[in-house]
Amino acid sequence: MSAAAAGLVGLPFLYRDEPLLAEYCAGYGEAVADADALGPCLRAMMKNYLMWSERAAAYPHSARATTRAYLALVDRLVANAEAITAARRSWRRRLARLVPGFGG
């Protein structure tokens, strides 16, 4: 089960300790560093299950909230497309001057 699915049904997370997952999962369960840590993390979660389940019930990254945030990002990108592409062109020209062979 994915972290998002667990969060949507109020279950605490056992997740791999890596930056992308930590961004969404930290505070809602136990991070597992490697296979050897799985047992201790699971026991810690079971010991503190009530606390973790209460936190997980407040998981903010629902499908609706995530979709709204994504659509808002797309709206901002579309509204500012000209300024964004102009800034990219500026950086590509600078990079082309600094890096021989860069096709900016």
Contact 29, 2 (CB under 8 A): no
Please report the pLDDT score of residue 36 as a whole number.
94
What is the reported pTM?
0.57
Beta strands in 1-104 (DSSP E): 13-16, 29-32
pLDDT in tens, the chain (104 residues): 576 677 778 889 888 999 888 888 889 989 999 999 999 999 999 999 999 989 988 888 877 888 899 999 999 999 999 998 888 888 878 878 888 777 65
Measured in degrees and rounded to the nearest 5, phi and psi for residue 14 equal -115, 110
Could you tell me which residues come within 8 angstroms of residue 55 by beta carbon, excluding any fewer than 6 positions away? 12, 27, 28, 29
